Amino acid sequence: MTGDPQSLSQRLATWARVKSPWVTVFNSGACNACDIEIIACLMPRFDVERFGILAKGSPRHADILIVTGAVTRKQASRLLRVWEQIPEPKYVIACGACGAGGGVFQGLYHVVGDVGTVIPVDMYVAGCPPRPDEIINAVVACLNLMKEDLAQGGKEWRRKAGDTDRKETTPGTVAKDVRV
Amino acid sequence: MTAQLTMEQVSGALKEYGSAEQVRKNRIRVSTDTQKILSAIKAAQQFLDCDHLILISCTDDTGSFGLTYHLTGPHRTVISLAVAVPRESPQVFSVSDILPPAAIYERQIHDLFGIVFSGHPGLSKLMLNEDWPDGEYPLRKDWKPNKANSYGGAAQGGT
Amino acid sequence: MAEVMVPIGPQHPALKEPVNFRIYVEGEKIVRLELDLSYNHRGIEKAAEERNFIRVLPLLERVCGICSHSHATAFVKGIEEIMGLEVPARGQYIRTIIAELERMHSHLLWLGVAAHEIGFNTLLMWTWRDREAVLDTLEEMSGNRVHYNMNEIGGVRLDLSEKQVEAAQQRLPVLEERIAQYVDMVSHQETMLLRFRGVGKLSKEEILKYGTVGPTARASGVDYDVRRDDPYLVYDEVPWNVVTDSSGDVYGRTKVRIGELSESLKIVRHCIENLPGGPIRVTSAPKAAPKGEILSRYEAPRGELAHFIRTNGTDKADRLDIRTPTLANWTSVAKALVNQNLADIPVIVAAIDPCLSCTSRMTVIDTGTMAQGSISWEELVRKCRARYGTEVQP
Ligand code: SF4
């Protein structure tokens, strides 16, 4: 994050971001159900657009990346690339049991692992799949986190002593061995 | 939907390819060998009206691979043509020219079991990721991940 | 004119087999197509050999989030046949109810997606609203909106209570009315007629040649439905019809799916009204299955699903070979796209129902300059709409 968080332009940007976060969804090897539930959020029953949350196609426009599913070998590099394309400050929500720990796909030969092994994750949503209201709740909680981060001047305050971010210690690499 | 095929019809039409056996009320299995599979499928298409390939299933029977071509037609009887492909030289003729949908199933089997379909127009990778090491076929029973190998997943770039 | 390659994917978030297909175009016309399917390959077939029947069911449900009941049912009915188990009638009826509700939610979802691809977003909102009613019923019955986990070897996990049956019965008339509206709409709605008619045509001969299954095949007049041709569950006891159409284009596929919606509703109603009493599962299902092999077929919402199962006398499958309907349909998509407009890709691809509903990225490579850039699926859809003058305010 650049600039003084208290400057007018920064405050304006944050205000706009929190009022209307743009979300992009990435399927890194999910079973589809999580994706379907995310789309259901956009539909009349849940209608997240009334909160200003917009689903966007391009990661370059997004503030929040929702990743569904365990990361397959082929998608790992793509996920990393999509993540790199998102402008700072970026937030990642890992959706479902798969995103959090591999779920039922834990340890299959073509699965690298959970989302956290490839990119840093800010928030996990439990459930298989989570209900749409839980997903909305996660996005809203993420917004609060955004505000909090801004007040604290970055994401560092959330890190406990001794915590190592798997992504940042070894940039660009992910677990290479197959766990079966 | 026409009347189901009887055992006699099937064994009559395919008798030169192997013995037929009724495995289920609507499924007849014919075991043949790799040399005859092309002509057996042609015969099934011609005499038994088989116009739909349900799937090509592949099993690892230690020592050989079992390929089964499940065909059906307007009679809705499933004709399963089974062949055993030797493990040392896993090679069989591709049937993709007489059965176009087979092309995609054969690519899948090639990826996961390493069976080579000679005459296939494009046996490229379909199921596994692009930096998966050659010569490792995950669905073989004796396949174990080799700690020394990289199975990909960290590649930069790609589409 | 130089050929230009347009690779689509790999980010097709809603696909069971996310694909990357390279489309070669000449001007606006598509010349041919190549496929790559591995993006969501996880290795479920291998894991199915290592987990016992109880543990493998939740895994199989998660092959696909839309046909989750299909995969689990195809597997249990195969294993039950190998074991020689007779599932109690009530269990079979409950399975059928869930299966048909699943088909309804899948078809409603598809109808919305197809409408979205042609810029008819009103219909998208309508169908997805009605789909919520189906999901509510499913949630009441099973406890989950998407992965029902109703199957067990030898029956179903949960019984239907009086209250649940009543609640479902109350929802059916509403759904029926809505479906009637869609049937009426598809016959004269201008946008649908304009964008669906004559697009992505496949003749009956082509369908047979390329091994296409499901509503795509039935829309071209191929009368093939596993529910009737190799009856399982209770489809041979329930009155219903196979819906076919002869037009063979996207319009025909829409009509078939809408027709199947009303058929499914009929089946659900019949099953709910004639729900037999008695147990819902066998009292003690064996843990291990004897040696045997079976080809278990199931009519999933997208077409014929085939599980080839071999058992070896233990409580694990020796081999499970899954052929999903979408895989069978890709060959024909490749065919249907040839000579079509680049702008019709979304609707033709969506017509086989791989549910291209979320955003996807595409890479456009000009073979002349090798310049490469990405456009999102949304952008493509927008371009298509602009071409056909059906652009609505984004
Ligand atoms: S968490 Fe569950 S629903 Fe979501 S992708 Fe994984 S298996 Fe599917």
Mind listing the pLDDT tens digit for each residue in C36-93? 666 777 778 888 888 888 888 888 888 877 888 888 899 999 998 888 888 898 999 9
pLDDT at C391: 39
Encoded tokens for C247:
């037009």
Q: Cβ of B153 and A74 within 8 Å?
A: yes
Q: What number is the ipTM of this complex? A: 0.87
Q: Which residues of C281-294 are buried (b: 16+ CB within 10 A; e: fewer)?
A: bbeebeeebeebbb
Residue C215 clears pLDDT 70, i.e. is over it = yes
d(CA C277, CA C280): 9
Residue B155 clears pLDDT 80, i.e. is over it = no
pLDDT at C373: 40
Long-range contacts of C1-5 (CB under 8 A, 24+ apart): C1/C26, C1/C27, C2/C26, C2/C367, C2/C368, C3/C31, C3/C367, C4/C364, C4/C365, C4/C366, C4/C367, C4/C368, C5/C365, C5/C367
Residue located via tokens 């409580």: C315
Q: Give me chain B's average pLDDT, please.
A: 81
C-alpha Rg value of chain B to the nearest Å: 18
Residue located via tokens 């956290």: A116
C138 CB within 8 Å of a chain A CB: no
Q: Cβ of A177 and B151 within 8 Å?
A: yes
Residue B54 contacts residue B27 (beta carbons within 8 Å): no
Quick one: closest CA in B to A113, which residue? B153
Task: Compute how many other C-beta atoms are within 10 angstroms of the C-beta atom of residue B148.
Answer: 6
Encoded tokens for A126:
């439990």
Rounded to the nearest angstrom, the distance between the alpha carbon of A126 and the centre of ligand 1 is 10
Residue C184 lies in a domain: yes
A62 φ/ψ angles, rounded to the nearest 5 degrees: -95, 155
Residue C345 lies in a domain: no
d(CA C48, CA C322): 11
Among the partner-chain residues A29, A36, A108, the one whose CB lies closest to the CB of C47 is A108
Q: Cβ of A129 and C147 within 8 Å?
A: yes
Q: Cβ of B157 and A77 within 8 Å?
A: yes
Average of per-residue pLDDT across C97-117: 87
d(CA B141, CA B31): 23
Q: Which residues of C1-27 are buried (b: 16+ CB within 10 A; e: fewer)?
A: eeebbbbbbbbbbbbbbbbbbbbbbee
Q: Whose CA is closest to C295, among C232, C222, C208?
A: C232
Using alpha carbons, list the distances in angstroms from residue C202 to C33, C113, C117, C245, C246: 16, 21, 20, 12, 10
Looking at per-residue confidence, does C388 or B139 come out higher? B139
The total of structural domains in chain C comes to 1
pLDDT at A111: 82
**Which amino acid, B13?**
A
B113 φ/ψ angles, rounded to the nearest 5 degrees: -120, -15
Tens of pLDDT, residues A126-149:
888 898 888 888 888 888 888 888
Task: Compute how many other C-beta atoms are within 10 angstroms of the C-beta atom of residue A156.
Answer: 8
- For residue B24, the cross-strand partners are B27
d(CA A105, CA A113): 8
Element (H, E) at C21: strand C20-26
- Per DSSP, chain B holds a count of helices (H) and strands (E) of 3, 7
pLDDT at B135: 80
Residue located via tokens 């049956």: C165
DSSP state string for A41-96 = HHSTTT-GGGGT-EE-S-GGG-SEEEEESPEEHHHHHHHHHHHHHSPSS-EEEEEH
Q: Give me chain A's average pLDDT, please.
A: 78
Torsion of CA B117, B123, B129, B132, to 10 degrees: 60
Residue A36 contacts residue A69 (beta carbons within 8 Å): no
Average of per-residue pLDDT across B119-135: 78
Which residues of chain A lie closer than 8 angstroms to B153, CB-CB? 71-74, 76-77, 112, 174-176
Residue C126 clears pLDDT 70, i.e. is over it = yes
**Domain containing residue B112:** 7-118
Q: Cβ of B57 and C210 within 8 Å?
A: no
All domains of chain A, ordered by start, with CATH?
Answer: 8-153 (3.40.50.12280)
Among the partner-chain residues B57, B80, B127, the one whose CB lies closest to the CB of C321 is B57
Residue B159 lies in a domain: no
User: Does the C-beta of A23 come closer than 6 Å to ligand 1?
Assistant: no
The total of structural domains in chain B comes to 1
**Domain containing residue C278:** 44-323
Least confident of B35-49, C239-253, C373-387: C373-387
Residue B154's pLDDT band (boundaries 50, 70, 90)? low
Encoded tokens for C8:
């689509």
Average of per-residue pLDDT across A50-56: 83
Atom of ligand 1 nearest to the CA of A68: 5
Tens of pLDDT, residues C128-166:
889 998 998 899 888 888 888 888 888 888 888 888 888
d(CA B16, CA B13): 8
d(CA C221, CA C215): 10
Residue C157 lies in a domain: yes
Residue C72 lies in a domain: yes
Q: Give me chain C's average pLDDT, please.
A: 79
Residue from A80, A109, A114, A115 to probe the interface with B (highest B Cβ count within 10 Å): A109
Tens of pLDDT, residues C324-345:
887 778 778 777 777 777 767 7
Rounded to the nearest angstrom, the distance between the alpha carbon of A96 and the centre of ligand 1 is 6
d(CA C337, CA C32): 8
pLDDT at C386: 52
Residue B53 lies in a domain: yes
pLDDT at B34: 83
How close does chain A come to B133, measured CA to CA in Å?
Answer: 12
Compute the half-sphere exposure of residue C191: CA atoms within 13 Å on the CB side of its CA: 17
How close does chain A come to C209, measured CA to CA in Å?
Answer: 30
Residue A3's pLDDT band (boundaries 50, 70, 90)? low
Residue B132 lies in a domain: no
Residue C292 lies in a domain: yes
Q: Cβ of B78 and C295 within 8 Å?
A: yes
C363 CB within 8 Å of a chain A CB: no
Quick one: closest CA in A to B129, which residue? A74
d(CA B100, CA C358): 30
Q: In sequence order, what are the residues at sequence separation of 6 or more whose Cβ sits closer than 8 angstroms to the Cβ of residue B142?
A: none
Average of per-residue pLDDT across B130-153: 76
Sign of CA dihedral A53, A57, A63, A69: positive
Looking at per-residue confidence, does A124 or C8 come out higher? A124
Task: Compute how many other C-beta atoms are within 10 angstroms of the C-beta atom of residue C359.
Answer: 23
Residue C109 contacts residue C176 (beta carbons within 8 Å): no
Residue A178's pLDDT band (boundaries 50, 70, 90)? very low
d(CA A55, CA A5): 27
Looking at per-residue confidence, does B18 or A165 come out higher? B18
Residue B114 lies in a domain: yes
- For residue A125, the cross-strand partners are A95
Q: Whose CA is closest to A39, among C59, C356, C117, C385?
A: C356
CATH number at residue B94: 3.30.460.80
Residue A111 contacts residue A70 (beta carbons within 8 Å): yes
- CA angle at residue C148 from C161 to C71, to 5 degrees? 130
CATH number at residue C215: 1.10.645.10
Rounded to the nearest angstrom, the distance between the alpha carbon of C103 and the centre of ligand 1 is 20
Average of per-residue pLDDT across C222-231: 86
pLDDT at B6: 78
d(CA B66, CA B137): 15
The most confident of the ranges A73-82, B5-14, B78-87 is: B78-87
Question: What subunits touch chain B, counting only 3 or more CB pairs under 8 A?
Answer: A, C
Residue C218 lies in a domain: yes
